[in-house]
Amino acid sequence: LLGRLTAARPKIGAYPFTTKIPNLGVMYLDDSQLVIADIPGLIEGASDGVGLGFQFLRHISRTKSIAYVIDAGDENPCDTLRMLEHELAAHGTGLEKRPRLLVANKIDLPDSADRADELRECYPDDDMVLVSAVSGDGVREFAGALMRLQDTE
């Protein structure tokens, strides 16, 4: 997604945890710009230092808002988001209170619409966008939502 939104060229792979280090890119939309950080995915226990949890959480603590990118092919997207919320809250720096956007990625996959609907049902009060990094569907809407999120800070 970072590559779709910016001129950044991060490593891309069809497997979990392709992103091992934070990547930055600058998104330009109309007359505005926004620096976007693509942080490696958090795993359960990150707030206790599992994996590179402390390091990744330190990177996240520098952000003003958070886009939670959830794989729309995930069999239980609500549980995945709850785990992320728990890890951010357990870090103890107020990350869970930052302005946020839910992003259902990989909407080009079979059953992804059903999973995105599940996520929307679990979090009806959150703004959510549907995107496909592969096809580019929803990327313009995602960019606009990120800009609006920046304006709420």
**Residues 105-146: tens digit of each pLDDT:** 999 999 899 999 999 999 999 999 999 989 999 999 999 999
Whole-number Å distance between alpha carbons of 153 and 148? 9
**In sequence order, which residues have a C-beta less than 8 Å from that of residue 116 and are 6 or more positions away?**
72, 77, 104, 107, 128, 130
Q: Which of 7-21, 83-97, 110-124 has the highest mean predicted lDDT (pLDDT)? A: 110-124
As a 3-state breakdown, the chain gives helix, strand, coil percent values, each rounded to 5, of 35, 20, 45
**In sequence order, which residues have a C-beta less than 8 Å from that of residue 132 and are 6 or more positions away?**
105, 106, 107, 108, 138
Which residues share a beta bridge with 101? 67
Name the DSSP letter for residue 14: S
Residue 127: predicted pLDDT: 95
Q: How confident is the model at residue 9 (pLDDT cuts 50, 70, 90)?
A: confident
Q: How confident is the model at residue 96 (pLDDT cuts 50, 70, 90)?
A: confident
Check if the beta carbon of residue 53 is closer than 8 Å to that of residue 40.
Answer: no
Asked whether the predicted pLDDT for residue 150 surpasses 70, the reply is: yes
